[in-house]
Structure 1
Amino acid sequence: MHKITFTIIALSCMSVFQTKAQEVIPLYANAVPNAKQVAMEEKSELGKDGILRISHVTVPTLTVFTPPAGKANGTAVIICPGGAYSILAFSHEGIDVAKQFNEWGVTAFVLKYRLPDDSIMVDKTMGPLQDAQRAIQFVRENRKQWHIQSNRIGIAGFSAGGHLASTAGTHFKQAYIDNPHKTSLRPDFMVLGYPVISFSKELMHAGSRKNLLGAKPTAEQDKFFSNELQVTPQTPPTFLVHAKDDAAVPPGNSLVFAEALKKNGVEATTYLYEKGGHGFGMHNHTSTVKWMDQLHTWMQQHRWVK
């Protein structure tokens, strides 16, 4: 297993986070599947809004965040930052969230996944899902290294990262990566923040749909990636959060997914803010309610945290 050790310094609007000697693991030990051999330089930019944005990813990785000594509880979560399948909002929808999970004893893995691009992928529609499946496979197969239990590995995602997480949570029966050990690719739970779910005309986020599927997707592609249509009784229990005034990704995305889950007998909890817009990460500053507290209670109820 190849590892990289480095220091992350990520600025946010509220504070500065620094993690020393953070472990960064290339997602694939050998060749990256579905990849074209082209040169592309990855880009990282810290915006004036304090958000670290990463683009042009050709080497997907997992950045590991471990709980304080003696606090790990056997639960893990893979975090997919959002960014309309164009960039990765790596700080407030990745690093910051991972550190909060650590406080609850959860080992967190921030996924730097490939963004759909015809110039670097044979089939750009499948690249992100392959990386999400590989992340679940990797964590499950190497769980003993971090004292993780095999049935306590979840996935979280925000915006388009929520689409990716829900795609992994509804398409796990088919492996789109090599899986010689038949490792389960099903996440045990999902946490979806203002997620893109549907590519229907009424609910879709046009930018995410275009970036993933191209300008003229087929009806079959729209259906395949409209994850409310892919829910089964085996879909993992899910916590969703959304703001009613989200003008970018309509809150109906969360509502139709929760409805589909409940129709299939799958537990779903949805927290809706009256205001907050889109992209607020862990902190909706229009409300005194902290949705992460709601999530913590939900995870306690399922015994994923104490």
Structure 2
Amino acid sequence: MKLLFIVVLSIFFIKTSFSQHRDTIYLWSGDVPGETEAKHDPIQTPDTSRNVIRLTDVTNPAIIVFEPEESMKNGAGVIVCPGGGYRILAMDLEGYEVAEWLNKLGFTVFVLQYRVPNKKTEALFDIQRAMRIVRSRATQWDLDISKLGVLGFSAGGSLSARVSTRYNIETYPKIDDLDTLSCRPDFAVLIYGAYFSKGPNRTLTPELLVDNNPPPMFLFGTADDKAGHSSLVLADALRGSNVPVEFHFLPTGGHGYGLREGNPAAETWPGLAENWLKEYVLNK
């Protein structure tokens, strides 16, 4: 009982610390395209295993803004997409904690609460709209509109790959002038991404249009991850389409580790991604 109390208290403090002094921007001011439920706050699931905050029942999609210290701003922005199998969002493990890390590198970060559960189509609406909102308000955050990218984990990696290859496909009816803006990311970082190999015989997922001028991509995965094949297939497809891609594949690490210490993959990918971001984003 004492241990349970400590775990619950820890989650409370984690949630509180990340919720303070953050702007939340809702993506849709009126009706939410494709949504049948009324807008309400997302629901935190009772599953807190591995000390992870899991949200579900997102009907009012939003971005939570994490700004770095003014002196550290590098002019680049990243929309971070937590994973969760399109069922839940691992908001701290693959969202808030990643935003804190990127802030230390000077990036302005927008953690995306996209629609779940089982709303894969609508999730694409949400990330396209989020990219347009960030681009439209770039001056507010001192952002260079040519340095706006995505970083996703697992299903969030799938979503990031989808917006990177389907950015010029109208998925929802235009609502306002924002929807005339480009939603193409300028770079994409995909960590233990999933659902890239849903084609026949585990080939590239047909909806990923890698010949559609996607942005440079950084991919990271491990051999002992059941979803590891996805990254192999996407990396090869990008190479075949002459898209700049850097791919790292470690023997162990599994899946769903974020950047928490104690896992060899979690302790490896951030440094590699940081170097890649400096070369392909900050120094371009």
Same fold (TM over 0.5): yes
Task: Give, in whole Å, the separation in 2 of the partners of 1:127 and 1:159.
Answer: 17
Pick closer, same or farther for the CA change 1:66–1:77 going to 2, 3 Å: same
Pick closer, same or farther for the CA change 1:293–1:62 going to 2, 3 Å: same
Q: Are positions 1:281 and 2:264 aligned together?
A: no
Give the aligned partner of residue 146 of structure 2.
Answer: 151
Amino acid at match of 1:189: F
Give the aligned partner of residue 159 of structure 2.
Answer: 164
The TM-score normalised by the length of structure 2 is: 0.86
Amino acid at match of 1:87: I
Contact 1:106 1:305 in 2 (8 A): no
Q: Are positions 1:22 and 2:46 aligned together?
A: no
Aligned residues: CA RMSD: 2.5
The TM-score normalised by the length of structure 1 is: 0.80
Q: How does 1:1-306 map to 2 (within 5 A)?
A: 18-19=17-18, 20-38=20-38, 42-45=42-45, 47-117=48-118, 124-177=119-172, 178=174, 180=177, 182-196=180-194, 197-200=196-199, 202-203=201-202, 223-224=206-207, 227=208, 230-232=209-211, 234-247=213-226, 249=227, 251-283=228-260, 285-287=262-264, 290-304=268-282
Task: Give, in whole Å, the separation in 2 of the partners of 1:39 and 1:106.
Answer: 30
Task: Give, in whole Å, the separation in 2 of the partners of 1:231 and 1:92.
Answer: 29
Pick closer, same or farther for the CA change 1:58–1:111 going to 2, 3 Å: same
Contact 2:37 2:59 in 1 (8 A): no
Give the aligned partner of residue 212 of structure 1.
Answer: none
Contact 2:83 2:89 in 1 (8 A): yes
Contact 1:65 1:108 in 2 (8 A): yes
Task: Give, in whole Å, the separation in 2 of the partners of 1:52 and 1:85.
Answer: 15
Contact 2:86 2:120 in 1 (8 A): no
SS of the residue aligned with 2:123?
A: helix
Of the structure 1 ranges 175-184 and 46-55, higher mean CA displacement relative to structure 2 is found in 175-184
Task: Give, in whole Å, the separation in 1 of the partners of 2:238 and 2:74.
Answer: 27
In the TM superposition, what is the alpha-carbon distance from 1:172 to its structure 2 partner? 0.5
Give the aligned partner of residue 4 of structure 2.
Answer: none
Aligned residues: 267
Contact 2:163 2:184 in 1 (8 A): yes
Higher helix share: 2
In the TM superposition, what is the alpha-carbon distance from 1:48 to its structure 2 partner? 3.4
